[in-house]
Amino acid sequence: MQLDIALGNTVFVIPSSNGGESLARMLPTLAIPTRLIVVLDQGSTDNTARVCKEAGVEFVPLGQPCSYAQACNVGAGLARERSAEFIYVARNDIAFATDVARQLLQEMLDDPGLAIAAPSQALIEKKGGAPRVAYRAFWSLDRLRFEYDFTPPPESRLIFVT
């Protein structure tokens, strides 16, 4: 399948709660058609609806606060209803430095055995530290926290996308 055809058959969901300011920074960094982007709003009282309207992205009010996992499930249901072959789920407080959507999708197309793909992240420490690259994000079930792995994988596992 060609990349542009596959991209047209995706849904890019962004769970958000009072994330208007973050979305205003994030949405311009997405290099995909705005018709693919859906913001799942969890009862925001800020300018989220206006930001979405100005950006030309779909705004779906969930009506109440919910967990990130619940919002992701709503996004998966939306993708199923639309018969999308691919779904992206993104936090609203990130910005993309490259065309991440196409890069991840190309990896999925190149390896039909992949079920999920995620980019590395440069995290900026809140206390003025230097940016660090997170090679993996994961839920630590023993600590009940979302954590990052800053240890690079073996070079044979690295995939460089340009």
The confidence score (pLDDT) of residue 162 equals 44
Domain ranges in the chain?
A: 3-97
Query: If you write DSSP's letter for every residue of 92-106 in order, what string do you get?
Result: TT---SS-HHHHHHH
pLDDT tens-digit map of 55-104 = 999 999 998 888 888 988 999 999 999 999 999 999 888 888 889 999 99
Output the pTM of the full model: 0.78
Is residue 108 pLDDT above 80, yes or no?
yes
Task: Produce one character per residue of 58-76: b if its CB has 16 or more CB atoms within 10 Å, e if not.
Answer: bbeebeeebeeeebbebbe
CA-closest candidate to residue 152, choices 114, 125, 130, 120: 120
- Selecting from 3.40.50.2300, 3.90.550.10, 3.40.50.2020, 3.40.640.10, what CATH number does the domain 3-97 have? 3.90.550.10
The confidence score (pLDDT) of residue 99 equals 92
